[in-house]
A and B are shown apart, each in its own frame.
Chain A
Amino acid sequence: MKFQIPIGPQHPALKEPIGLRVMVEGEIIRDADLRLGYNHRGIEKLAEQKTWIQNIYLTERICGICSHSHTTCYVQGVEKLMELQVPRRGLYIRTLVSELERVHSHLLWLGVAGHEAGFDSFFMYTWRDREIVMDILETITGNRVHYGINTIGGVRRDLDELQVKKILDSLDILRKRSEYYKNLGTTEPSFVARLAGVGYLSKEDAIALCAVGPTLRASGVPRDVRKDDPYAVYDEIPFEVCTADTCDVLGRTVVRIKELFQSYNMIEFMLKNLPEGPIAVRAPRRAKPNEVVSRYEAPRGENIHYIKSNGTDKPERLKVRAPTLGNYAATIKMLKNGFIADVPLIFAAIDPCICCAERAVALVDARTGEEKVVPMLALKQLSQKIYGLNARKREVEWPL
């Protein structure tokens, strides 16, 4: 018996709205279809109406988990446009926050994976220890989620000795805890039984479908922007690109746990080799007409910002390619011929951030399922027609 199961836009496995139509035969998935556009926020259009500085805080709000990734990516691009030389201490602090953010994102992901597999104890433990990273981030930046530490030409807050010591102490606890999760996540029989062999994505497919981040690295492709095209201070920091060759969800878990340890080493290195000097330079208000592409390795994969300036204090165009978008095509491939029970795990394994990736709205007729492209003017006229007929009655009498 073949039937279609709707997963989303509202579903307990999904933290954000996305439509997944799964054609199943018994418990086995025969086909899958992804529908985007439920969470479109028009951020790119909004960015064209704000100044360079204001846009930092706008891009920060693209995502709640990799907020620093988006601002850094944006700020790097703008600095290139304005031809600014960021002081090294500023770059170190910026990189420090991005590595801490990676730790927090990966710990969060481990918890989510546990929850999707029905392993709620794992979820509770990892999220408890994630608080430690959140506290570190709060000591550095003053905020837990939207750090607001980047500015054009450097960072906004400096680090002192006391903070460095506190972070190093917390790092020891995190290392110990992560060691425990490494054992638990890769040896607990029922958990491994759910992860191993699920969501297979071969090396060739991963490259052909443009997968990014841990999804790609778990298929045995050592591709990492931090290594391939070093930005900030990644060319000075020793680290390895973590890969796995199992090509499944277990591999993606292993890659993320390995990256945690790499990040701890990098954080320690940066804290111990923090250069002296200023943290920021003064940035001009305008940028010369030019265009730039900025790449950044977010916790979820490669994040790309394209920025075009026209000589004013506002960008002419800001285009964001969030890592989740790069992984969608691979997800469909992974879902096929899997079990219904694996849908949340496979989908969670790309660490989807849906509102990051929403760049368009598709207009679908609810009755016929027909899709169409409608110009803005026609949409406006349609809304005037509908709401003109059902105009709100302004002078309604209060019934009592």
Chain B
Amino acid sequence: MATLKTFIYLIVYPGLLFLFIYSTFVEWYDRKLYARFQNRMGPTHTGKAGILQPIADFFKLMAKEDITPERADKGLFSALPAFGLAIVSTAMLLLPVWNYSLEKPSFTSFNGDLIVMLYLLSLPTFIFFLAGWSSTNLFSTVGAARVLTMLFGYEVPLFLSVLSPAILAGSWRMAEIAAFYRARPLLILVNLLAFFIALICIQAKLERTPFDIPHAETEIVGGTFTEYSGKKLALFRLMMDVEMVVAAGLLATVFLGGFPANPWIGLVSFILKTLFVIFFLSLIRATTSRIRVDQVVSFSWKYLAPLAVLQLLIVILVKGFIS
């Protein structure tokens, strides 16, 4: 029975199947919002209001011809999309939405899972770098170099800003951080600055405008994904969607008070809060233009990192004031 339960946990809910459905829904939501911001219709055709469009896109890509470049590192090139999807799906299981109890740490909710989460969210960046590098295309190589250059910019501010609420809550366990802020909702306001820094960094991590530099189509064609097609590209796209859900879930847990332990209310709250975060991500995407890679680095170190340090300072002061 326990095996079956774990199996269902991994494959059906909240594992792969739920993730697939929810992340495609999130992609639709993002596309629709982006389109409405731009005075367009967005997807309308497949399903009601085009809600099935991302799923249709996924299956269409699955059926397309899959080409591996002759000079590419074939093993790496083919394995990367699956690896990437596995990594972000694993990260999803760590979110304290399902199957956690505050008293009893388990293998999905333990002290220090915040660090593991950040680690798992850093890996996709390296997957993108390796994907670009192993395809040996000129555009992919430039894209891969840009992925890494950007990483040096946004990673430190992201870590600093996500860790500051943890310091105030005095725990490295996401479930406990969320419970701390649910008990004291006013303290959420202390971390407002960090929330916006983290939003910008997550936008950069997800490589969306203004940070869609590694696959800027007007400059370097498809960037890191130039050589990817068919199933591999479909998996990569799914991976980006899942990553968006996980990143939004992380922000919702850490900054917005997380989700109640009740499975149903928890699920509803998870959906509402992630959609709230993704609304901001879409807004940023619609209102900015792509910046240059050197501007990303200078912007992060000139503004984001000092502000994140300032936030840490505020948190430490508030913590002293409370205790």
Which residues of A come within 8 Å of B, CB atoms? 3, 5-6, 11-13, 26-27, 114-122, 124-125, 128, 188, 190-191, 193-194, 339-344
Contact = CB atoms under 8 A, between A and B. Distances in A.
Contacts of A344: 218-219
Given A118-B218, A121-B37, A124-B39, A5 B138 contact: yes
A340 B38 contact: no
Nearest to B210: A190
A124 B290 contact: no
Contacts of B216: 118, 341
Nearest to B288: A190
B40 interface: yes
Contacts of B142: 5, 27, 340
B149 to A, nearest CB: 8
B63 to A, nearest CB: 24
Nearest to A12: B217
B289 A191 contact: yes
B39 A125 contact: yes
Contacts of B213: 341
A119 B288 CA distance: 6
Nearest to A125: B39
Contacts of A115: 218
Contact of A120 (B138, B209, B291, B294): B209
Contacts of A188: 287-289
Contacts of B37: 121
A121 B38 contact: yes
A190 B218 CA distance: 17
The size bracket of the interface on B is 20 to 34
A26 B139 CA distance: 12
A345 to B, nearest CB: 8
B139 A5 contact: yes
A118 B292 contact: no
Q: What DSSP secondary structure best describes chain A's contact surface?
A: helix
A340 B291 CA distance: 12
Contacts of A124: 38-40
B212 interface: yes
Nearest to B141: A3
Contacts of A342: 292
Interface string B284-323: 0011111111110000000000000000000000000000
Contact of B290 (A13, A194, A343): A194
B190 to A, nearest CB: 27
A343 B288 contact: no
8 contacts: A5-B142, A114-B289, A118-B210, A118-B290, A121-B37, A190-B210, A190-B291, A339-B292
B33 to A, nearest CB: 12
B67 interface: no
Contacts of B212: 118
Q: What DSSP secondary structure best describes chain B's contact surface?
A: helix
Contacts of B221: 11-12
Contacts of B40: 124
Contacts of B10: none
B220 interface: yes
Contacts of B38: 120-121, 124-125
Given A128-B39, A343-B219, A194 B292 contact: yes
A13 B219 contact: yes
B143 to A, nearest CB: 11
Contact of A27 (B139, B288, B291, B293): B293
Contacts of A122: 289
Nearest to B139: A5
Residue from A5, A118, A340, A343 with most neighbouring chain B CB atoms (10 Å): A118
A119 B289 contact: yes
A120 B146 CA distance: 21
A115 B291 CA distance: 12
B233 to A, nearest CB: 16
A339 B149 CA distance: 15
Interface in B21-53: 37-40
A119 B217 CA distance: 12
Contact of A193 (B220, B287, B291): B291
Nearest to B287: A121
Contacts of A191: 288-289
A123 B38 CA distance: 9
Nearest to A343: B219
A314 to B, nearest CB: 43
A26 B292 CA distance: 14
Interface in B190-230: 209-210, 212-213, 216-221
Given A12-B221, A118-B290, 10 more contacts: A3-B138, A114-B289, A118-B289, A119-B288, A119-B289, A119-B290, A120-B209, A188-B289, A190-B288, A193-B292
A25 B38 CA distance: 36
A380 B220 CA distance: 38
Contact of B294 (A3, A27, A119): A27
